[in-house]
């Protein structure tokens, strides 16, 4: 059950958001705040009393401390809550997801769309890594904790779509952008491939070429042809550079394609 904080400087919008959140059976508590400063005070009181806030549903256009600035502050918390932006502004989506937002919901808020954002937060909270225990002497090391999924907002012909990292087969460098290839198509995001490599390494993504970052769990074959190495995933055949061949082979031996789900 989620403990949430709804933040909006417009009282009717805040009341509607809180009402919709309280109707969701996955939400245990809804606190409200009328601006960024009030939200920080509410989060501080929750921390001081030992109560958790699992998700913040946050407007962007607010006087003083706006939603993006507040999200940057929240990201510095030791255990930051999930952030869902609820806004009438479409043009901040890329910046919002660069801040690792769980979702981006446009106003007027459709109940089913908000329910999907709650579902994402609940699923991410359930997948949060637990503190690693030291193995007893002679015992096996614990399994690595699961890495929470990440969601991207992409624009196509005026339609905003949301792509989860777990859907991505591979990412392709295109200057300061990256093209994310999924089973359903490709999507351009304003994030350099080097940044994705750093952020997604713990989730099983590995660089195979200066232009390609692949999800090992989606790889189905490792081929050696005419002295070159290739990986096959989702119907795509990608060359592995000689510089990365040894690392890719070793990682696929540890995580063979047949074990992918």
248: domain CATH number is: 2.40.50.1020
Q: Would 254 be classed as within a structural domain?
A: yes
Q: What is the pLDDT of residue 253?
A: 65
Dig out the tokens for 181 from the structure. 């290839």
Contact 230, 239 (CB under 8 A): yes
Q: Would 132 be classed as within a structural domain?
A: no
Q: What is the pLDDT of residue 146?
A: 55
Q: What is the pLDDT of residue 130?
A: 41
Distance between CA 132 and CA 229 in Å, rounded? 36
Distance between CA 31 and CA 91 in Å, rounded? 27
Same domain? 73 vs 171:
no
Listing DSSP states for 54-89 in one string gives: -EEEE-S--SSS-HHHHHHHHTTSSSPPEEEEEES-
Q: Would 37 be classed as within a structural domain?
A: yes
Distance between CA 103 and CA 110 in Å, rounded? 14
Distance between CA 174 and CA 239 in Å, rounded? 17
Q: What is the pLDDT of residue 160?
A: 67
Q: What is the pLDDT of residue 246?
A: 84
Please identify, among 78, 99, 127, the residue that sits at the C-terminal boundary of a domain. 127
Q: What is the pLDDT of residue 4?
A: 98
Distance between CA 99 and CA 86 in Å, rounded? 14
Q: Would 238 be classed as within a structural domain?
A: yes
Mean pLDDT in each 10-residue stretch from start to end of the chain (261 residues)?
97 97 97 95 88 94 93 88 91 78 91 94 73 43 55 67 86 91 86 89 89 91 85 90 85 57 37
Q: What is the pLDDT of residue 158?
A: 61
Q: What is the pLDDT of residue 157?
A: 60
Q: Would 135 be classed as within a structural domain?
A: no
Domain count, the chain: 2
Burial tier of 81 (Cβ tally within 10 Å: 0-12, 13-18, 19+): buried
Same domain? 96 vs 203:
no
């Amino acid at each position: 059950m989620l403990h949430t904080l709804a933040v909006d400087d417009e009282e009717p919008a805040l009341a509607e958001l809180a009402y919709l959140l309280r109707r969701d059976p996955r939400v245990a508590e809804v606190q409200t705040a009328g601006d960024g400063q009030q939200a920080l005070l509410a989060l501080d009181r929750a921390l001081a009393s030992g109560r958790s806030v699992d998700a913040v549903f946050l407007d962007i256009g607010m006087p003083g401390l706006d939603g993006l600035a507040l999200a940057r502050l929240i990201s510095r918390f030791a255990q930051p809550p999930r952030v869902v932006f609820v806004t009438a502004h479409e043009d901040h989506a890329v910046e919002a997801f660069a801040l690792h937002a769980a979702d981006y919901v446009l106003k007027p808020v459709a109940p089913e769309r908000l329910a999907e954002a709650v579902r994402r937060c609940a699923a991410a909270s359930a997948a949060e890594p637990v503190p690693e225990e030291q193995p007893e002497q002679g015992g096996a090391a614990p399994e690595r904790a699961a890495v929470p999924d990440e969601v991207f907002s992409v624009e196509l012909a005026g339609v905003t779509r949301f792509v989860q990292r777990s859907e991505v087969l591979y990412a392709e460098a295109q200057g300061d952008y990256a093209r994310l290839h999924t089973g359903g198509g490709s999507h351009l995001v304003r994030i350099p491939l080097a940044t994705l490599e750093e952020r997604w390494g713990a989730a099983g993504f590995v660089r195979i070429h200066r232009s390609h970052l692949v999800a090992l769990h989606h790889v189905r074959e490792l081929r050696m042809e005419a002295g070159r190495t290739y990986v096959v995933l989702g119907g795509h055949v990608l060359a592995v550079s000689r510089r990365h061949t040894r690392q890719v082979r070793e990682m696929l031996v540890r995580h063979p394609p047949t074990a992918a789900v």
